[in-house]
Amino acid sequence: MKDVITAKDVKLSYGSYEALHGISLNFHEDELTALIGPSGCGKSTFLRCLNRMNDDIENINITGKILFEGQDIYSPKMDLVELRKEVGMVFQQPTPFPFSVYDNIAYGLRIAGIKDKELIDQRVEESLKQAAIWRETKDNLKRNAQAFSGGQQQRICIARALAIRPKVVLLDEPTSALDPISSSEVEETLMDLKRKYTFIMVTHNLQQAGRISDQTAFLMNGNLIEAGKTEEMFIAPKKQITSDYLNGRFG
Amino acid sequence: MKAKNTDKIATWVIYWLVAIVVLILAGILGNILWTGLPHLSWHFLTSEASSYQAGGGVRDQLFNSIYLLILTTIISFPIALGAAIYLSEYASDNWFTSLIRTTIEILSSLPSIVVGLFGYLLFVVQFGLGFSIISGALALTFFNLPILTSNMEQAINGVPQSQREAGLALGLSNWKTIRGIVLPAALPGILTGLILSAGRIFGEAAALIYTAGQSGSTVNYSNWNPFSPTSFLNVMRPAETLAVHIWKVNTEGIIPDATVVSAATSALLVIVVILFNLGARYLGNKLYQKLTAAKAK
């Protein structure tokens, strides 16, 4: 199995406080990896290292290596804009821009320099279909994206991330701000898409991780405790503490 | 029982205090409009101010006020916008930026007569611009910048951080995120701030007395050459505004109908400022709806 992203001994500290104590983890192509763990364990922080969203935090220090397709993303030669085109991101709160649905999806494409109107139209439709939101938006493409429901907004954001054809999409608790119905819609969308894209998802919802992920990584207090195939880990975790967490004894 | 009584008394006191505020405001506004409105006529709006006889109008003063407002806005808007973007998006929290913020706060409470005298010394005397529209516009820019900047900074800060992150995560550069996402989202707030400050500029007198001057030169509204001394567009001519006109007819004026003229001018000023405020609300709401689209088509 090909690894798209390889993290080697990633340590991160804010000033003198170390939040991640050396995490090594491989992410396989066209799989969905779930990062689970109690609140404050560093899973979101780790996720945001993968597209360098932590760069702007003051006094931050990141060591170790993160390779995206063999390239060190923290090397000075790395172009941030290029990296984020390859590694997209969807956040906990839906973040549609205050434009129409169409412009939301087309925005990244236009920035990427695509001018051909037909190609943009085609990509917009394709991305909305992929994110399973085409049916609800096709007659309302000119409507402001912020006027849709939370679940719809989140799928519009997924479509927006997919439109620029990334290799990897990072999902930071994509369903935790949504109601159960919207949440299951987003889950189904991810199930359909995970054969075409590599997803890395932070989630608090263990059932969700069990349902849709191929690989699961369990983090605690800034350490990677255990990682492996989801079925194996959920049925027979190697460590007692993983088993305790999965069984709801803490967290 | 005791708690109930105290509550009753407190409620009554609060109602009375509110009533006093409302009465004072309504009294002032009502008085200005009541005494001024009957004298507001088409003739008053379209004829020149007279120096000796009764029956003069405020045509030039009205135009000067609007012209000064437009010039001031053109000069101060880009500067304030740039400063606001810097403060909210780029500035980190250190002694330098807190110095800037403190300076802005102090400047925004600077008495306008001080701004006027400063403008007189710097623009009128030092730069040799004389009593002119441009001197007035520059002084008003100084007067206006602090408040405009902090209004805009607030509007930009009001855009959720998640929007910026979403832009950056999409591969947009910092500047593209600001220009393409943050500014459009902050636009309603920015516009409201701009129009509200316009109301302040429009009614300002003290900062203009020593900069734009108190005399109206002969103005020709069909002369479109801004370099001609009689053109209405010439920025080097002295220009009395509505607010300065009120001050002048009441202090040095020798026209017999000074009370009538100042009453009507006051009413005109108040009406224009009210229109600005209503306009700001309407436009802000409209844009907010359009951009955040509670009800867009």
Output B172 or B17, whichever has higher pLDDT: B17
Question: Domain of B46?
Answer: 40-292
- Tell me how close the Cα of A56 comes to any Cα of chain B, in angstroms: 11
d(CA B93, CA B154): 16
**B5 domain-assigned:** no
Q: Does A181 touch chain B (CB under 8 A)?
A: no
Contact B293 A81 (CB under 8 A): no
Write out residues in chain A with pLDDT < 70, as ranges: none
Q: Where are the domains of chain A?
A: 3-92+166-246
Q: With 70 as the cut, is the pLDDT of residue B241 above it?
A: yes
Q: Does B7 touch chain A (CB under 8 A)?
A: no
Which pLDDT belongs to residue A130? 87
Average pLDDT over residues B233-257: 88
**B230 domain-assigned:** yes
Who among B168, B173, B294 is closest to A53 (CB)? B168
Instruction: Look up the CATH number of domain A3-92+166-246.
Output: 3.40.50.300
CA distances from A244 to A5, A43, B53, B131, B277 (A): 29, 18, 96, 82, 62
Q: With 60 as the cut, is the pLDDT of residue B297 above it?
A: no
Which pLDDT belongs to residue A178? 83
Q: Does B170 touch chain A (CB under 8 A)?
A: yes
Query: Which residues, numbered 68 to 97 in chain B, qualify as contacts with chain A under a Cβ-Cβ cut-off of 8 Å?
Result: 92
CA A24 from chain centre, in angstroms, equals: 18
Contact A161 B170 (CB under 8 A): yes
C-beta separation of A26 from A6 below 8 A: yes
CA distances from B286 to B155, B292, B294 (A): 16, 10, 11
Output B75 or B94, whichever has higher pLDDT: B75
Q: Does A139 touch chain B (CB under 8 A)?
A: no
Contact B165 A91 (CB under 8 A): yes
Q: What is the tens place of the pLDDT at every residue in B113-146?
A: 999 999 999 999 999 999 999 999 999 999 999 9
Q: Where are the beta strands (DSSP E) in chain A?
A: 3-14, 17-28, 32-36, 60-68, 71-72, 87-90, 168-172, 198-202, 215-220, 223-229
Q: Does B185 touch chain A (CB under 8 A)?
A: yes
Burial class (CB in 10 A: 0-12, 13-18, 19+), B270: middle
**B35 domain-assigned:** no
Radius of gyration of chain A (CA): 18
The two tokens of residue B87 are 């403060």
The domain that holds B88 is classified in CATH as: 1.10.3720.10
Which pLDDT belongs to residue A21? 94
d(CA B16, CA A80): 61
Number of domains in chain B: 1
**B33 domain-assigned:** no
Angle at the Cα of A127 (from B181 to A135), degrees rounded to 5? Answer: 105
d(CA B176, CA A51): 18
**B136 domain-assigned:** yes
Length of chain B: 297
d(CA B123, CA B219): 23
CB pairs < 8 Å spanning A and B: 75
**Residue from A95, A104, A127 whose CB has the most chain B CBs within 10 Å, to mutate:** A95
Q: Does A161 touch chain B (CB under 8 A)?
A: yes
Q: What is the tens place of the pLDDT at every residue in A178-229?
A: 888 888 888 988 998 998 999 999 999 999 999 999 999 999 999 999 999 9
- Tell me how close the Cα of A206 comes to any Cα of chain B, in angstroms: 25
B294 pLDDT tier (thresholds 50, 70, 90): very low
Q: What is the tens place of the pLDDT at every residue in B171-218?
A: 888 888 998 889 988 988 898 888 888 888 998 999 999 999 887 677
Which backbone phi and psi does A64 adopt, to 5 degrees? 95, -170
Query: Which residues, numbered 145 to 164 in chain B, qualify as contacts with chain A under a Cβ-Cβ cut-off of 8 Å?
Result: 160, 162-163
Q: Which amino acid is at A66?
A: I
Q: Does A11 touch chain B (CB under 8 A)?
A: no
Of all residues in chain B, the one with the smallest CA distance to A49 is B169
Contact A89 B169 (CB under 8 A): yes
Q: Does A164 touch chain B (CB under 8 A)?
A: yes
Who among B171, B173, B185 is closest to A98 (CB)? B185
Q: The tokens 């009210």 sit on which residue?
A: B274
CA distances from A194 to A2, A174, B138 (A): 15, 15, 61
CA distances from B120 to B66, B70, B112, B138, B206 (A): 21, 21, 12, 10, 11
Query: Which residues, numbered 111 to 130 in chain A, qualify as contacts with chain B under a Cβ-Cβ cut-off of 8 Å?
Result: 111-112
How much is the mean pLDDT over chain B?
A: 88
Of all residues in chain A, the one with the smallest CA distance to B292 is A98
Q: Which pairing describes strands A215-220 and A223-229: parallel, antiparallel, or unpaired?
A: antiparallel
C-beta separation of A218 from A242 below 8 A: yes
The two tokens of residue A224 are 């990677």
Which pLDDT belongs to residue B292? 59
CA B21 from chain centre, in angstroms, equals: 24
d(CA A169, CA B23): 61
Nearest of B25, B5, B41, B48 to residue B255 by alpha carbon:
B48
d(CA B71, CA A43): 54
Q: What is the tens place of the pLDDT at every residue in A140-152?
A: 898 889 889 888 9
C-beta separation of A92 from A100 below 8 A: no
